[in-house]
Structure 1
């Protein structure tokens, strides 16, 4: 059975920006079936309405790798909580589990079943920056790490891609994915 990877963009994003196409191509070359879906409602529609769409749109199994950036990483918490299988890996890039700034964050849930999330992912990684301009910083990564374990990676690298931060490749992600 072929492994699959699903890469989720963040708030206001799309599949064609940042390192998403590059990572998708790298994983496809390694034999992954890759999906980089476009969810225009990512972090603008309530997680309770977005989650059923995502669950219906994709296949999840023990060989699935989930990657999310920013709002897409925050969304992975609700997704992992709701799965009925244990996926291989989840990598949350510039992720967060609580309000990171003054903006509305409909991608967040009021609370999480941390035990359910942990039971639905074999290996989880949190990649955050000390200098994230939106508050998706190392403290946010640490809060998730403290609840879920896994691996926390802290860099001094902004938001790992943004309108004013070109980030076309992300070698670390390619190395982390089995």
Structure 2
């Protein structure tokens, strides 16, 4: 059976924004959907979140898809590095992924820099991560105040990802008012 794991961003809950909408759309298409509440969502740590994903998705296969949002993308990439090299997956969709963040925006949010710093400074082995998915799709917005545009080129080069740039979607979070992402449905087949 085809499975999808949707991993939210920092401060996110399964019922926020577009997560629940995507889960319902995919269930209608016959997918088994996992939309877990990640631990300690306001202060996410690499070990805690990657460990949680490993326990939620212990044996992914070619019928397994992953969707991440913001820090959830980082979680998925770090999780992929832990998989045996022969593990093959279906598509991995990364919504507002980042390896760097806009420092001015981060400075305006108390506590954001100490939370983000380990995620930014702890390297990801992209060569290992890209062994597994059939394809990476990265969805960016042209007005995301958190994710600088240079992340687009980075993910295209490091993961050979298909890059999609939506107009006016902000950070694809509840504050941006995004309730649906119909453009990504075509990547689930």
Give the alignment's TM-score, normalised by structure 2.
Answer: 0.84
1:123 alignment counterpart: 135
1:34 alignment counterpart: 33
Does the 8 A contact of 2:155 with 2:161 survive in 1?
A: no
Does the 8 A contact of 2:16 with 2:174 survive in 1?
A: no
Does the 8 A contact of 1:131 with 1:137 survive in 2?
A: no
2:90 alignment counterpart: 88
* Aligned partner (choices 143, 147, 151) of residue 140 of structure 1: 151
Distance in 2 between the 1:43 and 1:115 partners?
A: 30
**Unaligned ranges ≥5, structure 1:** none
Distance in 1 between the 2:121 and 2:77 partners?
A: 9
TM-superposed deviation, 1:42: 4.2
Count of aligned positions? 175
Q: Secondary structure of the equivalent of 2:4?
A: strand
**Unaligned ranges ≥5, structure 2:** 107-112
Instruction: Indicate the structure with greater strand content.
Output: 1
Larger gyration radius, structure 1 or structure 2: 2
2:110 alignment counterpart: none
- What is the aligned-residue RMSD (CA, Å)? 1.8
Distance in 1 between the 2:120 and 2:42 partners?
A: 8
1:20-99 equivalence runs, <5 A: 20-42=19-41, 44-58=43-57, 59-84=59-84, 85-99=87-101
Give the alignment's TM-score, normalised by structure 1.
Answer: 0.89
Does the 8 A contact of 1:47 with 1:108 survive in 2?
A: no
Once the two structures are superposed, residues 30-54 of structure 1 have per-residue CA deviations (whole angstroms, 9 ceiling, x without a partner) of 1110000001334723212321222
Distance in 1 between the 2:88 and 2:42 partners?
A: 24
TM-superposed deviation, 1:72: 0.8
Whether 1:172 and 2:183 are equivalent positions in the alignment is yes
Distance in 1 between the 2:30 and 2:121 partners?
A: 34
Distance in 2 between the 1:173 and 1:49 partners?
A: 28
Q: Secondary structure of the equivalent of 1:88?
A: coil
Q: Secondary structure of the equivalent of 1:12?
A: coil
